[in-house]
Amino acid sequence: MLTAYTSDEIRTAERALMALLPEGTLMRRAATALAVACVEALPRVYGSRVVLLVGSGDNGGDALYAGALLARRGARVDAVLAGKRVHEDGLAELTRAGGRRLGLSQGTSDPAVRALVDRADVLVDGLVGIGGTGALREPYAGLARLAAGAPGVVVAVDVPSGVDASTGEVEGDAVTAHLTVTFGAAKAGLLIDPGASRVGALRVAGIGLGPYLPEPGVVALTGPDVAGRLPRPGAESNKYRRGVIGVVAGSDRFTGAAVLAVAGAVRAGAGLVRFAGAAEPVRQVRARWPEAVTAVVSPGEDVKDVGRVQAWVVGPGMGTDDDAHALAASALAAGVPALVDADGLTLAARDRSLLRRAAPTLITPHTGELGRLLGVPADEIEARRLYYARRAAAELGVTVLLKGSTTLVAEEGGPVRVNLTGTPWLATGGTGDVLAGIAGAYLAGGLSALDAASCAAYVHGLAGRAAAGGPGGGEAPIAALDIARELPGAIRSLVAGG
């Protein structure tokens, strides 16, 4: 499991460790790790051009010491001193190693600065450290803009400047790195968008903080973590013991949502899927997924005749009229875990009592849906994803899976889980319906709402990558059903690797 921390938690751990070590030890450890990363980013060190963007804080010191190590190996290293202060010992070390310094007397428009940035093989961002919050000020903001056009490899020291290390929030200009070398442990903001999209590849360099770190507020499950949590049939399993999931989805207008939600449940390994909906969605589910047991629910009817289930999925494409409300209410009145998605969330935004349940409740909103539930604009939620995921969990009394470029799973009183799988190609219609079916199957299989959501997001992301052609190059557009088709293979590879 990857654990991540706020900047305050990291600083407290650093102080505890520094009290036991000679002065400067941690900075030199960090600088060595940074220099190694820069070496690996270069085709060769001797004769290469390295430019350091140096701020006033310890990140600037890390960059200067790393620059000295690179200069001793034959790199041409130039330090652009952007802060009002500079780490004097680090600068002296760089100078002794043959590195050069350049001030910003003419600001970021200085042709000499632009020329250095344009010719750099590696550009090291040591402007602002983990304590930086809010928008970058000049000249840092101008240097961040210069870095955006740099042809070389941009390496961020600890955190890309302009990214809030604790939350991932970005206000104004920020550095976009190809590689971020962070020290001691991951910072929460490096895993959560919009900041995560600025990180590039993330490398966590150990400097000895482990024994001094607290319980994390943000974590990310790895493959073995997920593999160990997935429901698996035993020798005595039958379809009922493996989990019976009820799905209320689809309408005459949105028939596909029913097919896709059932697809996710079937392919994720539910023991039995019971589907309830209007006549046309039932017909299509029967044609596509004959394994599902279906029941036509006419307007005004409820789910009492559908049969016993161990978890409900309520909402994808079901509509938002009075009949849909009554049907959703009948399913959510059952004393079993429930997942509420899509139209079910629109109904809940109008009537929060739908979410007041004794049994576990998982909601799976995108930012717009969560915005309606909380009365907050979607773009505000997008900008502060961690804050609003936590707020929704506490305010609504549910487990929240906030979908988007970074999927977060939040539950009051515990660490927020960040999902690290997926591909931008998942941003297409119907993928959320498949995700709802997967998570519902895991709820019916006995997982907690937190584990069901986290594992479903991870597996959904793996299947999306496989459908798109895998990580890296060669990816192609996908459709939602492609994800369902890839689920068994994704789960097989996960279990084999775990």
Is the pLDDT at 315 greater than 60? The verdict is yes
Share of the chain above pLDDT 90, in %: 90
Q: State residue 237's pLDDT score.
A: 72
CATH topology of domain 2-219: Rossmann fold (3.40.50)
Q: State residue 443's pLDDT score.
A: 98
Is 406 labelled a binding residue?
yes
Q: State residue 474's pLDDT score.
A: 59
pLDDT in tens, 198-245: 999 999 999 999 999 999 999 999 999 999 999 888 767 777 778 999
Q: State residue 473's pLDDT score.
A: 47
Is the pLDDT at 105 greater than 80? The verdict is no
CA distance 13 to 212: 5
Share of the chain above pLDDT 70, in %: 98
Is 404 labelled a binding residue?
yes
Is the pLDDT at 285 greater than 60? The verdict is yes
Is 454 labelled a binding residue?
no
8-state DSSP, 362? E
Mean pLDDT score of the chain: 95
CA distance 459 to 222: 11
pLDDT in tens, 28-48: 999 999 999 999 999 999 999
Q: State residue 85's pLDDT score.
A: 93
Q: State residue 470's pLDDT score.
A: 66
Is 366 labelled a binding residue?
yes
Is the pLDDT at 471 greater than 70? The verdict is no
Is 132 labelled a binding residue?
yes
Is 269 labelled a binding residue?
no
Is 320 labelled a binding residue?
no
Is 480 labelled a binding residue?
no
Is 130 labelled a binding residue?
yes
pLDDT in tens, 68-82: 999 999 999 999 999
Is the pLDDT at 472 greater than 90? The verdict is no
Is 7 labelled a binding residue?
no
Is 367 labelled a binding residue?
no
CB 460 within 8 A of CB 410: no
Q: State residue 498's pLDDT score.
A: 62
Q: In the predicted model, what is the mean pLDDT of residues 181-188?
A: 98
Q: State residue 270's pLDDT score.
A: 96
**How many other CB atoms are there within 10 angstroms of residue 97's CB atom?**
18
* C-alpha to C-alpha distances, 370 to 344, 345, 398, 404, nearest whole angstrom: 12, 8, 12, 11
Q: State residue 200's pLDDT score.
A: 97
Is 140 labelled a binding residue?
yes
Strands 122-126 and 49-54, by their bridges, are parallel
Q: According to CATH, where is 3.40.50.10260 located in the chain? A: 2-219
Is the pLDDT at 289 greater than 70? The verdict is yes
Is 158 labelled a binding residue?
yes
Is 419 labelled a binding residue?
no
Q: Taking each helix axis as running N to C, give the angle between helix 255-268 and helix 449-468, from 0 to 180 degrees, rounded to the nearest 10.
A: 100
Concatenated DSSP letters of 451-494: HHHHHHHHHHHHHHHHHHT-SSS------HHHHHHHHHHHHHHH
Is the pLDDT at 305 greater than 90? The verdict is no
* Band of pLDDT at residue 404, cut at 50, 70 and 90: very high
Q: In the predicted model, what is the mean pLDDT of residues 287-295?
A: 96
Q: In the predicted model, what is the mean pLDDT of residues 374-396?
A: 97
Is the pLDDT at 254 greater than 50? The verdict is yes
Is 61 labelled a binding residue?
yes
Is 134 labelled a binding residue?
yes
Q: What is the 3-state secondary structure (H, E, C) of 215-284?
A: CCCEEECCHHHHHHHCCCCCCCCCCCCCCEEEEECCCCCCHHHHHHHHHHHHHHCCCEEEEEECHHHHHH
Side-chain-facing half-sphere of 95: CA atoms under 13 Å: 8
Is 210 labelled a binding residue?
no
Is 432 labelled a binding residue?
yes
Question: Which CATH number is associated with domain 223-497?
Answer: 3.40.1190.20
Is 292 labelled a binding residue?
no
Q: State residue 239's pLDDT score.
A: 79
Q: According to CATH, where is 3.40.1190.20 located in the chain? A: 223-497
Is 131 labelled a binding residue?
yes
Q: State residue 428's pLDDT score.
A: 93
Q: State residue 138's pLDDT score.
A: 93
Q: Which helix (H) or strand (E) holds 421?
A: none
Q: Please, is 485 exposed, middle or buried when counting C-beta atoms within 10 Å of its C-beta (0-12, 13-18, 19+)?
A: middle
Q: State residue 109's pLDDT score.
A: 78
Q: In the predicted model, what is the mean pLDDT of residues 480-484?
A: 96
Q: Which helix (H) or strand (E) holds 423?
A: none
